[in-house]
Amino acid sequence: MIFMTTVLHLEAVSRRFGERQVLQDVTFDVVAGRMTGFVGANGAGKTTTMRIILGVLAADAGTVTWQGTPLTRAVRRGFGYMPEERGLYPKMTVRDQLIYLSRLHGLGPGTAKRNAEALIERLSLGERAGDPLENLSLGNQQRAQIAAALVHEPEVLVLDEPFSGLDPLAVDTVVAVLRERTARGVPVLFSSHQLDVVERLCDDLVIIAGGQIRAAGPRQHLRESYAQPRYTLHVDGDAGWLRDELGVSLVDLDGPRAVFDLAGDADDQTILRNALSRGPVRSFGPVTPSLAEIFREVTR
Ligand SMILES: Nc1ncnc2c1ncn2[C@@H]1O[C@H](COP(=O)(O)OP(=O)(O)OP(=O)(O)O)[C@@H](O)[C@H]1O
Q: Which atom of ligand 1 is nearest to the CA of 50?
A: 18
Residue count of the chain: 300
Q: Containing H/E element for 249?
A: strand 248-254
Q: Is the pLDDT of residue 1 over 60?
A: no
Q: What are phi and psi of 233, to 5 degrees?
A: -135, 135
The pLDDT > 70 percentage for the chain reads 98
- Rounded Cα distance between 125 and 67, Å, is 34
pLDDT of residue 85: 81
Question: What is the ipTM metric for this complex?
Answer: 0.95
Residue nearest to atom 16 of ligand 1 (CA): 45
CB atoms within 10 A of CB 273: 11
Question: What's the 209 CA to ligand 1 centre distance in angstroms?
Answer: 12
Helix-, strand-, coil-residue percentages of the chain, each rounded to 5? 35, 30, 35
SS3 255: coil
pLDDT of residue 284: 96
SS3 217: strand
Q: Which atom of ligand 1 is nearest to the CA of 193?
A: 25
Of the pLDDT bands very low, low, confident and very high (cuts 50, 70, 90), residue 5 is low
Chain centre distance of CA 187: 12
Q: What are phi and psi of 228, to 5 degrees?
A: -80, 150
Q: In sequence order, what are the residues at sequence separation of 6 or more whose Cβ sits closer than 8 angstroms to the Cβ of residue 198?
A: 37, 39, 192, 205, 291
Q: Is the CB–ligand 1 distance for residue 182 below 6 Å? A: no
Q: Is the CB–ligand 1 distance for residue 206 below 6 Å? A: no
Q: Which atom of ligand 1 is nearest to the CA of 45?
A: 18
Q: Is the CB–ligand 1 distance for residue 89 below 6 Å? A: no
- Rounded Cα distance between 248 and 271, Å, is 9
**R_g of the chain computed on alpha carbons:** 24
Which pLDDT tens digit goes with each residue over 255-289?
999 999 888 788 999 999 999 999 999 999 988 77
Reported pTM: 0.85
Spatial contact of 135 and 90, defined as CB atoms under 8 Å apart: no
Most informative mutation of 14, 47, 207 for ligand 1 (most atoms within 8 A of CB):
47
Of the pLDDT bands very low, low, confident and very high (cuts 50, 70, 90), residue 3 is very low
Q: In sequence order, what are the residues at sequence separation of 6 or more whose Cβ sits closer than 8 angstroms to the Cβ of residue 17?
A: none
